[in-house]
Amino acid sequence: MKTVQLGRTGEQISQLALGCMIMGTVTPEDEAFAILDRYAEAGGNFLDTADCYCWWERRGSYGGESEELVGRWLTRTGRREDVFLATKGSAVVRDLDVVWADGRPNWDVAYKTFAGAGAKTLREAIDGSLRRLGTDHVDLYYVHVDDRATPLEETLEALAGIVQAGKARYIGWSNVRTWRLERIRRLCAQHGWPAPVALQQQHSYLRRRAGLRHASIVDDEQLDYLETHDDLTLVAYSPILKGIYDDPDKRRGHGAMEPYQGPDADARLAAAAEVAAEVGMTPNALVLAWLLHQTSPTIVPLIGPRTLQQYEAALPALDAKLTDEQFARLDTAAG
């Protein structure tokens, strides 16, 4: 598996990151271990989790199952030094009772009850994550959901303390607007605090529909910002949008399609299906190959397979052979 540099840090991370979100809940331990083993055997080294994963899968849980599973795998394999380990804090739900209704979590309520990125919260969160992961440090620590209720100075000073204490080597940010990212970077430069080296956002081949306001999906302004700030690497979550590229029936009415629905998406879906058929691969894998091909900015797709079969279905993207003309057709679909 090829590697790319994380920002300007000199760290080499796998071109394809492995998301561990549903491991230990939806994906049982034996299958999760098999996915992690295969990924490591293929040369993969970039693992991604969070302290809140996966509270919404088990009523009464505040999360932590994914970190605990990854910790058990690291202990079993002794691979901690081979892995670039990322986790996140700030999105644990404070009050589960108000979030669950009729046996299902209410996400609108959940977003209003996140623990946030206050100094005390982050300091306690990183300690909890390290305990569950069974390690004394993570390589990358994200603010999971941008917290506008807490002064940025408080959050950034706390993160600087976490780095200084050796509990995290680098910091990142997720689910954040570009203007906030610029303010974060300016404050870091002003105070000498460590600045984010990774930006984790939702990004795929489809482009979000015109007029949509969404803090978590990359837009043209954010792409332009990343093109001119190569000290930040884009880690693209939900790169295949729950697998909707492969299945027209699945994407009809699917929530993953809602931010993209429209003529632009139709044209790009058709282009992906056409080129995928030409090269003999699935549209899902083709989209991953397209993302891996991007260099301005560099994109690290973050896959989150539920099964070993889904993990293996992504691998053809690593060796895809597309012509310049095929990439051009994908790039220019819908104008």
- What is the gyration radius of the CA atoms in the chain, in angstroms? 19
Span 74-111, pLDDT tens digits: 999 999 999 999 999 999 999 999 999 888 999 999 99
Please tell me the distance from the alpha carbon of residue 315 to that of residue 42, in angstroms, as a whole number: 10
The per-residue pLDDT for 23 is: 98
**How do strand 104-105 and strand 100-101 relate by DSSP bridges?**
antiparallel
Backbone angles phi, psi at 84, to 5 degrees: -95, 105
Q: Is the pLDDT of residue 40 over 90?
A: yes
Q: Assign a CATH topology to domain 3-202.
A: TIM Barrel (3.20.20)
What is the average pLDDT score of the chain?
97
Q: What angle do CA 278, 283, 286 make, to 5 degrees?
A: 75
The per-residue pLDDT for 208 is: 95
Span 191-218, pLDDT tens digits: 999 999 999 999 999 999 989 999 999 9
The per-residue pLDDT for 103 is: 86
The per-residue pLDDT for 288 is: 98
Backbone angles phi, psi at 238, to 5 degrees: 50, 50
Q: Is the pLDDT of residue 135 over 90?
A: yes
Rounded to whole angstroms, the maximal C-alpha distance in the chain is 54
Q: What is the mean pLDDT of residues 160-179?
A: 98
Span 265-294, pLDDT tens digits: 999 999 999 999 999 999 999 999 999 999
Please tell me the distance from the alpha carbon of residue 87 to that of residue 20, in angstroms, as a whole number: 10
Please tell me the distance from the alpha carbon of residue 283 to that of residue 302, in angstroms, as a whole number: 17
The per-residue pLDDT for 101 is: 84
Please tell me the distance from the alpha carbon of residue 255 to that of residue 127, in angstroms, as a whole number: 35
CA 146 and chain centroid, separation: 14
State the first-to-last Cα distance of the chain, in angstroms, to the nearest integer.
Answer: 32
Number of H helices, E strands in the chain: 13, 12
Q: How many CA atoms lie within 13 A of 195 on its CB side?
A: 22
Single-letter residue type at 4: V
Comparing 97-106, 201-210, 235-244, 306-315, which segment has the lowest mean pLDDT? 97-106
How is residue 202 annotated by DSSP? E
Backbone angles phi, psi at 231, to 5 degrees: -80, 0
The per-residue pLDDT for 318 is: 97
**How do strand 12-14 and strand 3-5 relate by DSSP bridges?**
antiparallel
- Overall pTM > 0.95: yes
